Amino acid sequence: MKTSKKFLSLSIVTILAMLLLAACGSGGSGGNADSGKNALDTIKENDKIVFGVKNDTRLFGLKNPSSGEIEGFDIDISKAIAKEILGDENKAEFKEVTSKTRIPLLNKGDIDAVVATMTITEERKKEVDFSDVYFDAGQSLLVKKDSPIKGIEDLDNSKTVLAVKGSTSSQNIRKEAPDAKVNEFENYSEAFSALKAGQGDALTTDDAILYGMADEDPSFHLVGKTFSEEPYGIAVKKGNSELVDAINETLKKLKDNGEYDKIKNKWIKEEPAS
């Protein structure tokens, strides 16, 4: 009798502990390499896929304040992936990332994949795995329409350029305009607010992102030629090859059946300058 009581309470404790663990696992499915299951199997088992997306980047991932929904090219691509892997685009869940937080959140297991204007670079490949390229951008400059700055060559030591932490843009600009002062912000909405407030002479990032800002406030425009190549990829935790394969298959299907062009034309009106 004593033993069975002990057994019963032990079982209750075990069940409670298991429930607690299940409740904690509300993030991505990618952080479970120890269980022997691959991330794709876990995503299928959980019947949801968690994407890290931007919330403040018009055209790619922007929260609509009236509906609370996040909208943009990266969001539609994520939904198409969820539809392909889980049969329903509503099984895509979204968590906000910034340029600086996207790799740490992925590697912590909070998200399964990053679809957030993220350039494939050799440096990043050391930390995460990437899908095939799904969009081609290039770095450019956004200035007030009456600005004397016409291109990267005008960024001398009297100019301040605004950029975002953790972006390739912030690294590239130091090489391309070594004399200019660079001010870094947490995200693109902060950087654009600073530009509007006159805290800098130019904002630098991918042309596709800058088009979204110029669209929002037509007193700004892009100047000069693009000065880098920014091929966007979808990042997953290192070693999740089954998930990368499933994402690449989806991208290929979307391109073959015309859905990719439909999504692109819905959001991207301007062709990146060459």
Can you give the three-state secondary structure of the chain, one letter per residue? CHHHHHHHHHHHHHHHHHHHHHHHCCCCCCCCHHHCCCHHHHHHHHCCEEEEECCEECCCEEECCCCCCEECHHHHHHHHHHHHHHCCHHHEEEEECCCCCHHHHHHHCCCCEECCCCECCHHHHCCEEECCCCEEECEEEEEECCCCCCCHHHCCCCCEEEEECCCHHHHHHHHHCCCCEEEEECCHHHHHHHHHCCCCCEEEEEHHHHHHHHHHCCCEEEECCCCCCEEECCEEECCCHHHHHHHHHHHHHHHHCCHHHHHHHHHCCCCCCC
Segment contacting ligand GLU by CB under 6 A, of 24-32, 104-112, 203-211, 263-271: 203-211
Q: With CB under 6 A, what is the number of residues at the site for ligand GLU?
A: 12
Euclidean distance between CA atoms 113 and 50, whole angstroms? 7
Q: How far is the CB of 67 from ligand GLU (least distance, A)?
A: 24
The answer to whether residue 118 forms part of the interface with ligand GLU (CB under 6 A) is yes
Site string (11-50) toward ligand GLU, x via CB under 6 A: ----------------------------------------
The answer to whether residue 70 forms part of the interface with ligand GLU (CB under 6 A) is no
The answer to whether residue 189 forms part of the interface with ligand GLU (CB under 6 A) is no
| Residue number with the smallest Cβ distance to ligand GLU | 167
Q: Which of 78, 131, 205, 240 touches ligand GLU (CB under 6 A)?
A: 205
Q: Which of 55, 78, 99, 226 touches ligand GLU (CB under 6 A)?
A: 99
Q: Which is nearer to ligand GLU, 154 or 206 (CB)?
A: 206
Q: Which is nearer to ligand GLU, 88 or 127 (CB)?
A: 127
The answer to whether residue 226 forms part of the interface with ligand GLU (CB under 6 A) is no
Q: Which is nearer to ligand GLU, 42 or 119 (CB)?
A: 119
Among positions 143-182, residues that touch ligand GLU (CB under 6 A) are: 164, 167-169
Contacts to ligand GLU by CB under 6 A: 99, 117-119, 164, 167-169, 205-206, 209, 230
